[in-house]
C-alpha cells in the first residue's frame, strides 16, 4: 500500500488490496452443506426397496430408541444435579458429569449419523472444564453448545418414540398382512379382524394382501424417507455448530493460514537474499579481484589491447556486483533482520535525494513479516516522493500500540496523488492486506501528501 506521487486529481481513499470477485468467492467462508441422507433413497419404488440407503435409514430410525433412552437418562441426571445443589453443593459434580456425558453423547450421535446416514456433522467446540466444580459448571452453563446439546436431548426423546414406532409399523404391518390368505382361516375365530374390516373369505384376504403389498412397496419407503428428513434436520440444527460460530472459526483459520503463507514467503525472500549475498555476489567479487590481478600483469607486459578487454570485463563484474547488492537489498535488507526498522529506514533515508526525517518507536519488535511490509511500504513511498512529488522534505513516523502498527509517510510536495493510479500500488496493497493492513492516502492538490498504514502485528 503505497502512495503514487504525480500529476492528477486530488485523491483521498483507502486501499485494502486488489479485488478479484472470483477469488473472493472462493476464499469466502462457507459452510459445507451436509449430504441429505433421505435424498440418497431413490424415489422409484422398485429401486428404493433394493437401495442400501433405505435399509440403513430404517436401521438408523430404529436405533433412535437407544438415543431417546440415553437422552432421557441424561436429562434425569441433570435434573438430579440441580435438585442436589442446595444439599452441600453435592449437585455440582453431578452437573459437571452430566455436562461431560452430554458432550460425549452428542459426539456419539454424530458418529452414528455418519455411519448410517453418510451425514457429516461438524463437531461443536467443547467447553473447557477445570478442577473447580464452580468454574466447570459456569463454563457449561455459558457455552452455547451445551444448550444446543441439551435441546437435542429434549427433542430426541419424543422424536425417537415416533420414529421407532413408525418405522416398525411401516414394515411390520405389510409383512404381517401379506401372507394373510395363508393363515386367516386357521385363526381361532376362523376369520381375521382388521379394524374396521373383517376378513372371512379368500377374496377379502387377497384384497388385504394386495393392499399390504402396495403399502410396503410405495408407502413404507416414503414414510422412512419422511421420518429420516425430520431426524437429520434435527441433528443438523442442534448437533452442528451455529452458523455464526462456524463462520468465525473459518475466518480464524483463513487468517492463520494467510499469516503462515506471508511468513513463509518472507522466509523464502530472506533465504534468496542470503544465497545472493553469500553465493553469487561473493563469486563475482572473487572474479573482479582476479581480473584486477590480470590487469596489473597485462599492464607490466605492455599488452594494452588485452588489458583493455580485461578492464572492461572487470568493470562489468563490478556493475553486476552493484546490481546484485541492490537486488538483495530489495528482497530483504540484512540490516532489517539484524537491527530492526529504525536502522534499516535510517539507511534508506540517508540514500534518499530528499531530506527525510525518520522516527521509529516499535517496542517490542513486530514479526519479521510485518517489519518487511512496513519497510517496503516506506521505501516505495520515498521512491515515489523523489520521482514525482517535487518535495523539499519528507518524514516517516512508525508507532506500535498494542497489537497494531501504524506507519505514516508524509511530504510537502505538490500533492495530487491518485490511489488508483497504479505505479506498484496494487502489489503493495496485496502485501499489506496479507497482514490485515489498510492504507489511507490523503493528497489534495498543492499538498501535502499523507500516507497512513495500519497493520496487525500482534
Give the predicted TM-score (pTM) of the model.
0.52
Q: Same structural domain for residues 343 and 316? A: no
Tell me if 30 is assigned to some domain. Answer: no
Tell me if 223 is assigned to some domain. Answer: yes
CB 370 within 8 A of CB 455: yes
Residue ranges of alpha helices (H) inside 239-303 are 243-275, 281-301
DSSP-assigned letters across all residues of 339-400: H-HHHHHHHHHHH-SS-EEEEEE-SS---HHHHHHHHHHHHHHHHHIIIII--S-EEEEEEE
Q: pLDDT at position 24, please?
A: 38
From CA 389, how far away is CA 371, in angstroms rounded?
Answer: 25
Q: pLDDT at position 38, please?
A: 60
Q: Same structural domain for residues 72 and 147? A: yes
Q: Same structural domain for residues 50 and 170? A: yes
Place of cell 433412552: 69
Residue 27: CB atoms within 10 A of its CB come to: 11
For residue 373, give the CATH number of its domain. 3.30.565.10
Q: Same structural domain for residues 66 and 91? A: yes
From CA 377, how far away is CA 439, in angstroms rounded?
Answer: 10
Residue 352 main-chain phi, psi, to 5 deg: -70, 140
Length of the chain: 458
CB 11 within 8 A of CB 418: yes
The cell numbers describing 28, all together, are 469466502
Q: How far is CA 420 from CA 352, 426, 429, 434, in A?
A: 25, 9, 11, 19
The cell numbers describing 281, all together, are 555476489
Per DSSP bridges, beta strands 356-361 and 394-401 are: parallel
Sequence-ordered list of residues with C-beta below 8 angstroms from that of 84, at least 6 positions apart, any chain: 90, 91, 94
Q: Single out the residue of 215, 219, 166 nearest to residue 194, CA to CA.
A: 215
Ramachandran assignment for 72, one of left (phi > 0), alpha (psi -120 to 50 degrees), beta (any other) = alpha
Q: pLDDT at position 6, please?
A: 34
Q: Same structural domain for residues 412 and 430? A: yes
Domain span at 76: 38-182+210-239
Q: pLDDT at position 32, please?
A: 39
| Strand ranges in 95-234 using DSSP code E only, listed in sequence order | 192-194, 197-199
Residue 370: CB atoms within 10 A of its CB come to: 28
Q: Same structural domain for residues 218 and 87? A: yes
CB 153 within 8 A of CB 75: yes
In eight-state DSSP terms, residue 37 is G
Per DSSP bridges, beta strands 449-456 and 404-411 are: antiparallel
Number of independent structural domains in the chain: 3
Q: pLDDT at position 23, please?
A: 39
Q: Same structural domain for residues 380 and 416? A: yes
Among 278, 309, 331, give the residue marking a domain's end: 331
pLDDT along the chain (458 residues), means of 10: 35 42 37 52 80 89 92 92 78 87 92 89 80 82 87 93 92 91 82 81 90 90 90 91 70 68 67 71 83 84 83 85 72 78 90 91 86 87 85 92 90 79 62 79 84 83
**CB neighbour class for 301 (10 Å; exposed up to 12, middle 13-18, buried from 19):** exposed
Amino acid at each position: 500500500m503505497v502512495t503514487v506521487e504525480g500529476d492528477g486529481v486530488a485523491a483521498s481513499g483507502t486501499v485494502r488490496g486488489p479485488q478479484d470477485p472470483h477469488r473472493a468467492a472462493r476464499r469466502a467462508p462457507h459452510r459445507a452443506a451436509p449430504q441429505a441422507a433421505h435424498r440418497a433413497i431413490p424415489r422409484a419404488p422398485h429401486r428404493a426397496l433394493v437401495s442400501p440407503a433405505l435399509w440403513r435409514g430404517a436401521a438408523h430410525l430404529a436405533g433412535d430408541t437407544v438415543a431417546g433412552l440415553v437422552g432421557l437418562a441424561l436429562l434425569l441426571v441433570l435434573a438430579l444435579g440441580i435438585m442436589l445443589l442446595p444439599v452441600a453443593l453435592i449437585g455440582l459434580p453431578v452437573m459437571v458429569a452430566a455436562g461431560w456425558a452430554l458432550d460425549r453423547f452428542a459426539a456419539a450421535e454424530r458418529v452414528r449419523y455418519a455411519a448410517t446416514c453418510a451425514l457429516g456433522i461438524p463437531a461443536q467446540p467443547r467447553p473447557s472444564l477445570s478442577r473447580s466444580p464452580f468454574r466447570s459448571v459456569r463454563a457449561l452453563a455459558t457455552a452455547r453448545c451445551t444448550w444446543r446439546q441439551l435441546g437435542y436431548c429434549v427433542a430426541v426423546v419424543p422424536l425417537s418414540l415416533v420414529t421407532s414406532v413408525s418405522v416398525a409399523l411401516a414394515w411390520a404391518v405389510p409383512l404381517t398382512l401379506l401372507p394373510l390368505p395363508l393363515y386367516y382361516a386357521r385363526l381361532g375365530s376362523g376369520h381375521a379382524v382388521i379394524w374396521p374390516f373383517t376378513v372371512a373369505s379368500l377374496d377379502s384376504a387377497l384384497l388385504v394382501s394386495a393392499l399390504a403389498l402396495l403399502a410396503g412397496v410405495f408407502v413404507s419407503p416414503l414414510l422412512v424417507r419422511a421420518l429420516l428428513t425430520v431426524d437429520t434436520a434435527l441433528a443438523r440444527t442442534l448437533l452442528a455448530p451455529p452458523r455464526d460460530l462456524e463462520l468465525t472459526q473459518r475466518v480464524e483459520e483463513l487468517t492463520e493460514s494467510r499469516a503462515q503463507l506471508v511468513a513463509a514467503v518472507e522466509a523464502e525472500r530472506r533465504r534468496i537474499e542470503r544465497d545472493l549475498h553469500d553465493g553469487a555476489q561473493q563469486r563475482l567479487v572473487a572474479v573482479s579481484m582476479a581480473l584486477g590481478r590480470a590487469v596489473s600483469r597485462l599492464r607490466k607486459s605492455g599488452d594494452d589491447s588485452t588489458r583493455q578487454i580485461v578492464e572492461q570485463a572487470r568493470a562489468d563484474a563490478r556493475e553486476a556486483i552493484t546490481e546484485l547488492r541492490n537486488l538483495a537489498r530489495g528482497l530483504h535488507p540484512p540490516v532489517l533482520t539484524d537491527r530492526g526498522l529504525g536502522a534499516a529506514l535510517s539507511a534508506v533515508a540517508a540514500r534518499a535525494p530528499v531530506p527525510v526525517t525518520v522516527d521509529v518507536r516499535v517496542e517490542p519488535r513486530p514479526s519479521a513479516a510485518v517489519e518487511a511490509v512496513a519497510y517496503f511500504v516506506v521505501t516505495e513511498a520515498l521512491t515515489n516522493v523523489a520521482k514525482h512529488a517535487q518535495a523539499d522534505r519528507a518524514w516517516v513516523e512508525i508507532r506500535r500500540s498494542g497489537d497494531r502498527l501504524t506507519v505514516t509517510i508524509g511530504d510537502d510536495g505538490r500533492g495530487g496523488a491518485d490511489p488508483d493510479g497504479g505505479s506498484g500500488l496494487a502489489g503493495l496493497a496485496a502485501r499489506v492486506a496479507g497482514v490485515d493492513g489498510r492504507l489511507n492516502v490523503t493528497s489534495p492538490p498543492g499538498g501535502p501528501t499523507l500516507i497512513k498504514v495500519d497493520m496487525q502485528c500482534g
